[in-house]
């Protein structure tokens, strides 16, 4: 992972100034949720989520004291659990093209320098799944209602997924993954858009606490399929 990010430094050629970063998106508008039925809320959210879409995003990789920009194209079929993704740097150099599903990732193309520095297909595939797959908990998940948040906890052995719903629209705002008590990664969802009655987040942040990097993703264009 460390060697991979060193290579990205050379490829992207976009270093940013050091310092603490604030959330680059509008804060969640928290409202009291005492009257909300969690089961009905979850059912409505699941029904509204877009399942087949093509996305063009701007992506910023944040690692330690640097950030690097890229442009990504992603094709998702969440019903089938499949995806295709490609990425280029700001000067138009294609970095990789991958396709995969819940179990595997196949490299259609990976820039030689990236392939030599680590298992890029696996890393990208895992992040795609973390962000876009399983955006709603199972029916058996435990529910906890707080004043401004509704939290679903889904456990499988030592693995735990926590889903946080909040805001005026009561949509998914956070997803956290734990092994034991350790929070390994989190995804924060912002600015949902509604097109043809289907929802998708137009901005999000993936924070990988274990490896110490963030992905800040902004929607540029979307097409429902």
Architecture label for domain 2-14+28-220: Clam (2.50)
User: SS3 for 111-180, per residue?
Assistant: CHHHHCCCCHHHHHHHHHHHHHCCCCCCCCCEEEECCCEEEEEEEECCEEEEEEEECCCCEEEEEEEEEC
- CA 177 – CA 55 distance, rounded (Å): 25
203, 87, 3, 61: CA torsion to nearest 10: -20
pLDDT at 204 over 50: yes
| C-alpha to C-alpha distance for 207 and 59, rounded to whole angstroms | 13
Confidence of residue 156 (pLDDT cuts 50, 70, 90): very high
Under a CB-based contact definition with an 8 Å cutoff, are residues 191 and 23 in contact? no
Q: Which residue has the higher pLDDT, 116 or 30?
A: 30
How far, CA to CA in Å, does 221 sit from each of 23, 58, 66, 93, 201? 22, 10, 26, 20, 12
* Interval 72-121: pLDDT, tens: 999 999 999 999 999 999 899 999 999 999 999 999 999 888 877 677 78
Write down the pTM of the prediction: 0.88
Query: Is pLDDT at 186 greater than 70 in this prediction?
Result: yes
Model pLDDT, residue 3: 53
pLDDT for 117: 66
Cα separation, 208 vs 185, in Å, equals 4
Average pLDDT, the chain: 88
């Amino acid at each position: 992972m460390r060697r991979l990010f060193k290579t990205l430094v050379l490829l992207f050629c976009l270093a940013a100034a050091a310092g603490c970063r604030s959330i680059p998106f509008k804060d969640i508008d928290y409202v009291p949720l005492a009257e909300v039925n969690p089961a009905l809320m979850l059912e409505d959210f699941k029904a509204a989520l877009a399942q087949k879409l093509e996305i063009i995003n701007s992506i910023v990789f944040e690692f330690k004291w640097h950030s690097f920009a890229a442009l990504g194209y992603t094709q998702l079929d969440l019903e089938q659990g499949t995806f295709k993704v490609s990425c280029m740097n700001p000067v138009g150099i294609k970095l990789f093209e991958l396709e995969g599903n819940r179990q595997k990732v196949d490299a259609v193309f990976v820039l030689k320098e990236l392939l030599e520095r680590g298992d890029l297909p696996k890393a990208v595939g895992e992040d795609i799944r973390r962000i876009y797959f399983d955006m709603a908990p199972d029916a058996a998940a435990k529910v906890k209602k707080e004043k401004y948040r509704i939290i679903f906890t889904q456990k499988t052995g030592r693995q735990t997924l926590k889903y946080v719903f909040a805001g005026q629209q009561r949509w998914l705002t956070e997803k956290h993954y734990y092994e034991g008590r350790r929070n390994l990664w989190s995804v924060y969802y912002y600015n949902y858009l509604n097109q043809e009655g289907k929802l998708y987040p137009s901005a999000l942040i993936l924070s990988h606490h274990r490896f110490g990097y963030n992905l800040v993703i902004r929607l540029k264009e979307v097409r429902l399929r």
